Amino acid sequence: MKLFDSHAHIGLINEDPIEQLIIVQEARQAHVEGILSICNNLRDFFQIHENLVTASHVYHAVGVSPSEVTNPGKDWETKILEGSRLERVVAIGEIGLDYYRKFGNKDSQIELFIRQLELADKLDLPVVIHNRDAGRDVLDILKDRIPRKGGVLHCYSEDWNYAQEALEINLFISFAGNVTYRNARNLHETARNMPLDRILIESESPFMVPSAHRGKRNRPSYLVETAQFIAELREEPIEQVTEQIYDNTRRLFGIG
């Protein structure tokens, strides 16, 4: 069995560079053969990239999340371009909209989102999309501006009807540990009905811990519980599900 964690905030699990290497190696021992490292801001991105440069199974996304909209950093667009040239950088992200926390205002969030979608298209990279309480705006913007390489709606939280719209515009859907929660019926329906070749999974570490580990800080090594739950929902063999999801992730992010 091979797993690929398509979204992990390694720097938020532990700030120590040695501990970060231990975390990603521990994940490999738990069949997590690939990890996409996500940072909310560019300062953290460059630091984490340096910390994990020797971890050949860790890939990176570079971008500015909506949480940073009021202070994306000086020359942030130039820094994204610089970051995109570094080793194993395979996506722009996470980017998107978050109306729950009310970061900045809607117009400033939308402007930041669109500018990074345009950068992704220019760089020929896929995007990792954050959506919290902004589903309609996220999808309407992506219908007009999704980069040629597509993208993924990470930590999916919408329903099956929304997913069907997303599937029409070259988007993958990534499920996190919250799909394992008993009351997450919309997610269960979506995971059950999704085409298997459009599903990704993620830890969203250190958040969204699978139900088997409730009360702990999430880690990429816990990803197997999410994979097992989805396989059981779909009544499909775990080996078939994990092999296809692993291939999906590598295909989206252009990893040979």
- Write down the H helix ranges in 3-41: 10-13, 17-29
pLDDT per residue as tens digits for the range 46-78: 999 999 999 999 999 999 999 999 999 999 999
Distance CA 254, CA 199 (A): 16
Confidence of residue 102 (pLDDT cuts 50, 70, 90): confident
Percent of the chain predicted with pLDDT > 90 = 98
Say which residue the tokens 């959506």 belong to.
Answer: 131
Say which residue the tokens 């298997």 belong to.
Answer: 196
Confidence of residue 166 (pLDDT cuts 50, 70, 90): very high
Is residue 152 pLDDT above 90, yes or no? yes
**DSSP state letter for 68:** G
pLDDT per residue as tens digits for the range 184-238: 999 999 999 999 999 999 999 999 999 999 899 999 999 999 999 999 999 999 9
List the domain boundaries for the chain.
3-252
Burial class (CB in 10 A: 0-12, 13-18, 19+), 37: buried
Closest by CA to 176, choosing from 212, 208, 138, is 208
CATH class of 3-252: alpha beta
Mean pLDDT (the chain, rounded): 97
Is residue 256 pLDDT above 90, yes or no? no
Kindly compute the dihedral angle of the four CA atoms of residues 121, 40, 194, 33, in this order, to the nearest 10 degrees: 100
Mean pLDDT, rounded, for 28-48: 97
Provide Rg for the chain, Cα atoms: 17
Confidence of residue 95 (pLDDT cuts 50, 70, 90): very high
